[in-house]
Amino acid sequence: MNHPLPEGPDARYAEHLAAGRLCVQRCKGCERHIFYPRLLCPHCHGEDLDWVGVSGKGTVYATTVIRRRPEQGPPYNLCLVELDEGFRMPSRVEGVEPETVRVGMAVTARITQQDGADIVVFDPS
């Protein structure tokens, strides 16, 4: 029998962001948080996942500055943030010069809009 389909996890994540909530999945089996959204836990392969709100507090795990030709615009930050709940998100730190973003820097998540979509960026804490 054809399997009944669940709601798509990407859409669910986007719905939470649109409502102003940073929510990710947490596995009921191993209690680990999961990012990006998916249909099973990549740590224990459990399928029973909750959507939970997270603090948005984290630290910069790795960082770079993307350089461009001047006519293409100024350099910008690209980083990976490790959230206090133990998962990582690709993002950027805003509000400071990209060169000053450091590994280990404390940061806080903020939902913002870009190209018509909600994304999560970080500010220094």
Partner 1 sequence: MSFRGKVAAVGTGLAGIGEAPGLTQIDLTVIAAKQALDEAGLGFGDVDGLFAANLQNIFAPLNVGEYLGIRPKLSEGTQIGGSSPVAHLIWAALALDAGLIDTALICYGSTQRTVAGKLLSPSTSEPLIYEQPFGPRYPISSYALNASRHMYEYGTTREQLASVAISARQWAAKNPDAFMRGPLSVDDVLGARMVADPLTVRDCCLVTDGAGAVVLTRSDRARDLVKKPVYLLGAAMAHWHRQISQMPDLTVTCASETGPRAFEMAKLGPADMDVLELYDAFTINTIMFLEDLGFFAKGEAAGFIAEGGIAPGGSLPVNTNGGGLSCVHPGMYGIFTVIEAIQQIRSQCGERQIDGAKTAVSHGNGGHFSSQVTAIWGDGETL
Q: Which residues bind partner 1 (CB under 8 A)?
A: 10, 35-36, 61-67, 76, 78-80, 88-92, 99, 103-104, 114-115, 117, 119
Please state the closest distance from residue 37 (CB atom) to partner 1, in A: 9
Where are the extended beta strands (E) located within the chain? 23-27, 33-34, 49-53, 57-66, 76-83, 88-91, 106-114, 117-124
Please state the closest distance from residue 103 (CB atom) to partner 1, in A: 4
Q: Is 4 or 114 the residue whose CB approaches partner 1 more closely?
A: 114
Q: Is 30 or 117 the residue whose CB approaches partner 1 more closely?
A: 117
Q: Is 4 or 20 the residue whose CB approaches partner 1 more closely?
A: 20
Please state the closest distance from residue 42 (CB atom) to partner 1, in A: 8
Please state the closest distance from residue 9 (CB atom) to partner 1, in A: 12
Residue 98 CA to residue 17 CA, distance in Å, equals 25
Residue 92 CA to residue 103 CA, distance in Å, equals 12
Peptide bond between residue 36 and the one before it cis (omega within 30 degrees of 0): yes
Q: Find residue 118's DSSP bridge partners.
A: 113
Q: Is 26 or 105 the residue whose CB approaches partner 1 more closely?
A: 105
Residues in the chain: 125
